[in-house]
Amino acid sequence: MRILLLNPNTTEAITGRLVAAAAAVASPGTEIVPLTAPRGVPYIASRAEAQIGGAVALEMLAEHHHKVDAAIIAAFGDPGLMGARELFDMPVVGMAEAAMLTACMLGRRFAIVTFARALGPWYRECVAMHGLEGRCAGIRMLDEGFADIAGVQEEKEAVIVELALRAVTEDEADCVILAGAPLAGLAARVADRIPVPVVDQMGAALKQAEALVALKPRKATAGTFRRPPPKPTEGLPEALAARIEGR
C-alpha cells in the first residue's frame, strides 16, 4: 500500500525526520510517499498558521490523492484534517489524532509534551476538537528559545525528557506523547528514560493509516463526511478547484 506523508510545513528537513520515524515501524508492503508544503511557513505554530497550512494541505491532497491508498497530515494539530476527510475518498489520518487515540490504549490519561510555548493553545484546541479532553492529563511546553527547528530535538532532548518526567509525576500521566513534527523520532531515543509508554506521533500515525487501509472502510455517501456536492469556485489552485467542482 502507498501512504502519503504530507508535511504541511515548508521545511524539508522535518519531512526527512518524519519519513525516518515512519519507516522505522512500517510493515513490509508499505510505501511511504513524502510531500513537503510548497507554500506556507517553516513550521506551523499558531492558529493563523494552522488555518493557512490546513488550506495548503487540501491543495496538496487535491494534487496527489489519486496516487495513494491513505494520507497522513503530519503536523501535530491536524490542520485541514476534517475538511480533507470530507473532500477525498481515501482514509486521512491526523498525526495528533493518531497519537492520542493510540495513547488511549496505553493509559487512562496521556500527557502532551512539546518544545515551544506557542504550540500549547493550538494543541489544546486540537485535543478538544477530537473530544479527548477527558483523556488528556495536560500539555507541557518548553519555555526556551532554540537554535534551529530541524535540530531542536537533539538540542532540547534533556529538557524535554525532564518535562515528560514532570508530566508523569505531577500530572499523573499514564503515557506521554512527544508532540510537534520536529520531534518525530525522538520517542525511540528517550523511551528508556521515561517510566511510562512514550508514543511516537509519526509511528502511531503510520500504523493507524496502515490499519485503516487494511480494514477497507468505504467512503461515506451519507453523514457529515460524505463528499459535498459539486460547487463552482473562483481563484483556487487548479487541482483543488477541480475537486470541489466535481470535475
Whichever of 58 and 160 has its CB closer to a copy of itself, that residue is 58
Report in angstroms how near the CB of residue 8 gets to a copy of itself at its nearest. 11
Q: What are phi and psi of 231, to 5 degrees?
A: -155, 145
Whichever of 126 and 160 has its CB closer to a copy of itself, that residue is 126
Report in angstroms how near the CB of residue 173 gets to a copy of itself at its nearest. 6
Report in angstroms how near the CB of residue 220 gets to a copy of itself at its nearest. 4
Whichever of 34 and 121 has its CB closer to a copy of itself, that residue is 121
Distance CA 4, CA 189 (A): 25
Whichever of 105 and 247 has its CB closer to a copy of itself, that residue is 105
Report in angstroms how near the CB of residue 153 gets to a copy of itself at its nearest. 18
Which DSSP state fits 178? Answer: E
In the block, residue with C-alpha cell 496527489: 64
SS3 category, 70: strand
Distance CA 206, CA 20 (A): 11
Distance CA 240, CA 62 (A): 5
Whichever of 48 and 159 has its CB closer to a copy of itself, that residue is 48
- Count of CB atoms situated within 10 Å of the CB of 188: 15
Separation in Å, CA 30 to CA 4, 23, 86, 197: 11, 9, 24, 25
Whichever of 28 and 247 has its CB closer to a copy of itself, that residue is 28
Q: Say if residue 179 is exposed, middle or buried (CB neighbours under 10 Å; 0-12, 13-18, 19+).
A: buried
Contact assessment for residue 120 and residue 46, using Cβ atoms and an 8 Å cutoff: no
| Chain centre to alpha carbon of residue 16 | 15
Report in angstroms how near the CB of residue 77 gets to a copy of itself at its nearest. 12
Report in angstroms how near the CB of residue 92 gets to a copy of itself at its nearest. 8
